[in-house]
Structure 1
Amino acid sequence: MAYKKISMDEARKIFESGADGSYTILDVRRLDEFSSGHIPGAINVANESIGTEAPAELPDKNQLIYVYCRSGNRSKQAAEKLVAQGYTNIVDIGGIIDWKGKIEK
């Protein structure tokens, strides 16, 4: 099973339209980076903390999860780790440096 990759612009359109129904936005940066500003509604699970066990914050392995980081490197790593843990609906949206929407602090 692989994950999908879409651009931040595509993701922003999905989030703003409310399309795709129920999903989770996952920020895999460190907590200090997350606290400095993140996509509204995102939850934070640092890439470094994603190991062999499913993160407690993500109990549903079939949930649609949009993953991002700062530049796109850690989101790719996290997406690969989550898929290896059995998550079936992972979408890597790259780095927040490409985000043109609102920022929440």
Structure 2
Amino acid sequence: MKHQLNIQVGFVKKHDVPIGAHRWITLVSPPDDQDGTELLLETNEHPAAKEYQEKLFAVGIPVTMFGVTDIHKEYKQLIEKGVQFTLKPTHMGELTIAVFDDTCGNLIQIIQK
């Protein structure tokens, strides 16, 4: 499941370039906007990166956040695709947030203003 998350949340691969033992991979969303914002996937092979990732996850801190126009719709669609949320859509002041597990050791937050 860990390599399927990008499909579940609507990303498609734009670049996949071998770099030694690793790969430089970027994703875009929506699929029909190849010139839009790219998300770069980074390796966590370095011990400091791995420790940082594990500690953020352990205390429930998301590593990134995406803005959405209808958080309840996104939440429902992601739940239907098997995405596991650690925080259901929750109203906080002027914002509504939800947090899900990306299955790769990270928490991702979605937010609606």
Which category describes the TM-score, using the shorter chain as reference length? under 0.3
Q: TM-score, normalised by structure 1?
A: 0.27
